[in-house]
Amino acid sequence: MEKKSTKVKSPTASGNIWESYKWSGSHWLLLLCVITVLSLATRFHKVTEPEHVCWDEVHFGKMGSWYINRTFFFDVHPPLGKMLIALSGYLSGYDGSFAFDKPGDKYGDVNYVGMRIFCTFLGACIAPLAYLIVLELTNSPSAAFMSSMMIICDVGILTLTQYILLDPILLFFIMMSTYGIVKFNNCTNDFSVTWWFYLCFTGSMLACAISVKFVGLFVVILCGLVTVWKLWLILGDLSKSMVYVLKHFLARVFGLILLPAVLYLCIFYIHLKVLNKSGNGDGFFSSAFQSVLDGNSLHNASMPREVAYGSIITLKNRRTGGGYLHSHWHLYPEGVGARQQQCTTYTHKDENNRFLVKPYNSDPSDQETLFLRNGDLVRLEHVPTRRNLHSHREPAPITKKHFQVTGYGENGTGDPNDVWKVVIVHGDSDGIVTTVTSQIRFVHYLQHCVLTTTGKQLPSWAYEQQEVTCNPNLRDSFGIWNVEENFYPKLPNVSFQVFAPGFFARVIESHAVMLQGNAGLKPKEGEITSRPWQWPINYRGQFFSGNTYRIYLLGNPVIWWGNLCFLLCFAFVAVIHALMAQRGCDNVICLNETSKVVESSIWLIIGWALHYIPFFAMGRVLYFHHYFPALLYSSMLSGVLLNFIVNTAPATIFPQWHKMGYHVVSGPVLGGIVFSFVKFSPLAYGMTGPYSQEQNSTMHGLKWLDSWEF
């Protein structure tokens, strides 16, 4: 990347204010070293503090432990980030024994530091990557330096990248992907070793990004747009043959589609191979999926093939990620339908999922074995409470157009509203219900509604389990169940190993469960959430540690609000550039250099928009930290435009002193950014003592918005 020396011309004579202020030789490398040292120093300062579980470390530290112990679990995110956290913990001596029960738990003698150092190191790489990205886009080390300083001095990015979280890993791979595609497009020797290396490097980083969180898809789209634009330019070069264009297209298909897809599947293969022991995530998956998990009741299971009257069964909803039909002693509260026993679906296995199959008009016979058949009328008695599955015309708790489902009766005796008709989907008229494979509907005999689950989460009075209702629409696609466990000693047992799914079937089901889980995420009671419009204005932060040692996730307001100004400023710069280009006013601004600034800014704005605007359409619960990938692009844009302005403004006003003017303007600007970092750094490094509203607080006077809570 060494620049060739050029003859310096007078800015006023040539109209090129950039020529008199070029970086040459190893200056760009020197600045990169400075950025790297500053990033490492600020990120690793107090990395071991606080010595207790902070915020989502409770989740991702726990999941790292499960990987080390090879215990299967369910999470809404793809596995790579958690696998890397587990690997870093394992290599640094962590044995996976810490519970990570709740925020604030003391680590004590637990070797947690390795996992924090790993995440912090990846977070420390973000600023140098920003430097390299902007350098490739603009060929300006000063713009690259300003962009990376924006990222280093943001206390929000600092806070988010110092803990055992997925975010530093995601941000790292997003920046690596962006660097890869920019570097690849700047390769001039097509199909050389370097060209192929950066193509495959970009594809690999894209696979890693989307393997950490599904929002990694946004950087995949960004790289796709850049690729389409580049192919369009190649297609427009009439000196190149169509065979040459086709070679470029096929190379990108391989490097940016096929290679990432293979790597993505490899990551899931490792994930499913490592997590081979039954855990608390089993219930989110189908009965067949569970049968391959060591220690699960279905693993190498043998149980009766047919279901008979007198069998004790568990019923699993066939909905992707559906739970088990469940009941417990607690009643529906006043004002929520009839005050009878609650019925829900629950994604974990326990005794409250068991039901006894009985004929509708008698108790099961002890003398003979009668099979449960298609069209039979039955009662389902909840084994622990001995109350029957029941429905009536009271509205359901949440879905008011459906009927309430309850547990009713005493010692198995109830009323006619306990009677259900068994319907085998696509079954023979007198077909026998079989374990695991039969798909069953339970149609209420009197109300003519089908037993179903809406997937909606009930309030805390139902322990946030999912709503079970009786839907008058008998075609409800979620009203299908299968018998998972079948206990009946009078029938011979058969092995269920034949139902074990293959690798691709497990990958498809994993994605269906993850996507459904992601879409259904709702805020917990008392949890602070946010909306996308609040994020760019830094409206409200988020506590990482709320004990006497407080950590508060909040962006540096000087940088965040400056980013907003530069987003608006870009429109002005682009319009002025277009007007001057149209009028041929190249005696004021070097149009080639300015065009590069405008083009670079456009791609950075597209990156910001792709990582921000889609959140407005999302129905799931959202948090402040979701904005940080977009923030990286916004901060790089600010560095590019800030450098452009401080370079051109002095030259336009005082052309003979423009080099000195650059330092006069940029020095205080950078100084102000650093000063703001120092003032707000306690948010990331830890606050003790009074809150900011107290006169004797070290943060007094820094609470610029009432919505800030530190």
User: Does residue 420 form part of some domain?
Assistant: yes
- Find where tokens 């207790």 sit: 52
* pLDDT value, residue 21: 43
CA distance 629 to 615: 12
Cβ-based neighbours of 198, under 8 Å, separated by 6 or more = 180, 183, 184, 187
Tell me which of 507, 530, 545 is where a domain ends: 507
Average pLDDT for 536-563: 90
Residues 453 and 503 in one domain: yes
CA distance 210 to 81: 10
Residues 224 and 352 in one domain: no
How many CB atoms neighbour CB 136 within 10 A?
19
Of 102-111, 377-386, 574-583, highest mean pLDDT: 377-386
| 591 band by pLDDT with thresholds 50, 70 and 90 | low
Residues 241 and 299 in one domain: no
- Short-list 378, 406, 377, CA closest to 391: 406
CA atoms within 13 A on the CB side of 90: 14
Per the structure, the count of domains in the chain is: 2
> Prior bond to 50 cis, omega within 30?
yes
Residues 311 and 406 in one domain: yes
Residues 402 and 253 in one domain: no
Residues 292 and 262 in one domain: no
Tell me which of 236, 268, 300 is where a domain ends: 268
* pLDDT value, residue 661: 65
- Short-list 256, 258, 323, 254, CA closest to 285: 323
Average pLDDT for 446-457: 93
CA distance 383 to 379: 12
| 526 band by pLDDT with thresholds 50, 70 and 90 | low
Average pLDDT for 571-581: 78
Q: At residue 7, does pLDDT exceed 50?
A: no
CA distance 8 to 674: 32
Residue scoring higher pLDDT (14 or 456): 456
Residues 467 and 381 in one domain: yes
User: Does residue 649 form part of some domain?
Assistant: no
Phi, psi of 414 (to 5 degrees): -135, -125
pLDDT more than 70, % of the chain: 92
Residue scoring higher pLDDT (321 or 541): 541
Q: At residue 527, does pLDDT exceed 80?
A: no
Average pLDDT for 622-630: 93
| 12 band by pLDDT with thresholds 50, 70 and 90 | very low
User: Does residue 354 form part of some domain?
Assistant: yes
Strands (DSSP E) found in 159-307: 302-304
Residues 402 and 483 in one domain: yes
* pLDDT value, residue 657: 62
Specify burial of residue 381 (Cβ count, 10 A radius: 0-12, 13-18, 19+).
buried
Q: Is the dihedral of CA 688, 691, 696, 698 positive or negative?
A: positive
User: Does residue 394 form part of some domain?
Assistant: yes
Residues 263 and 374 in one domain: no
User: Does residue 554 form part of some domain?
Assistant: no
User: Does residue 275 form part of some domain?
Assistant: no
* Average pLDDT of every residue of the chain: 88
Question: To the nearest 10°, the Cα dihedral for 647, 653, 656, 659?
Answer: -20
Cβ-based neighbours of 176, under 8 Å, separated by 6 or more = 129, 205, 208, 209
Residues 332 and 206 in one domain: no
Model pLDDT for residues 671-705, shown as the tens digit of each residue:
999 999 999 999 999 888 888 778 777 787 888 88
* pLDDT value, residue 658: 61
Q: At residue 222, does pLDDT exceed 80?
A: yes
* pLDDT value, residue 5: 38
* pLDDT value, residue 3: 39
Residue 688 in 3-state DSSP? Answer: coil
Residues 347 and 448 in one domain: yes
CA distance 103 to 163: 12
Bridge partners (DSSP) listed for residue 486: 313
Model pLDDT for residues 45-87, shown as the tens digit of each residue:
999 999 999 988 999 999 999 999 999 999 999 999 999 999 9
Q: Is the dihedral of CA 176, 182, 188, 190 positive or negative?
A: positive
Pick from 240-244, 306-310, 665-669: least confident: 665-669
Model pLDDT for residues 122-176, shown as the tens digit of each residue:
999 999 999 999 999 998 899 999 999 999 999 999 999 999 999 999 999 999 9
User: Does residue 497 form part of some domain?
Assistant: yes
| 111 band by pLDDT with thresholds 50, 70 and 90 | very high
pTM of the entire predicted model: 0.85
Of 165-179, 435-449, 508-522, highest mean pLDDT: 165-179
* pLDDT value, residue 25: 57
Tell me which of 507, 528, 550 is where a domain ends: 507
| 636 band by pLDDT with thresholds 50, 70 and 90 | very high
Q: Which domain holds residue 223?
A: 189-268
Q: At residue 24, does pLDDT exceed 60?
A: no
Q: Which two tokens stand for residue 295?
A: 């220690």
Cα 356 to chain centroid, rounded: 41
**8 A C-beta contact, residue 452 and residue 470:** yes
Cβ-based neighbours of 308, under 8 Å, separated by 6 or more = 357, 369, 370, 371, 372, 488, 490, 491
Q: What type of residue sits at position 702?
A: L
Phi, psi of 294 (to 5 degrees): -65, 125
CATH code: domain of residue 455? 2.80.10.50
What letter would DSSP give residue 520?
T
CA distance 691 to 283: 44
Residues 210 and 342 in one domain: no
User: Does residue 355 form part of some domain?
Assistant: yes
- Rounded to the nearest 10 degrees, the angle between the axes of helix 259-274 and helix 193-212 is 40
CA distance 384 to 440: 23
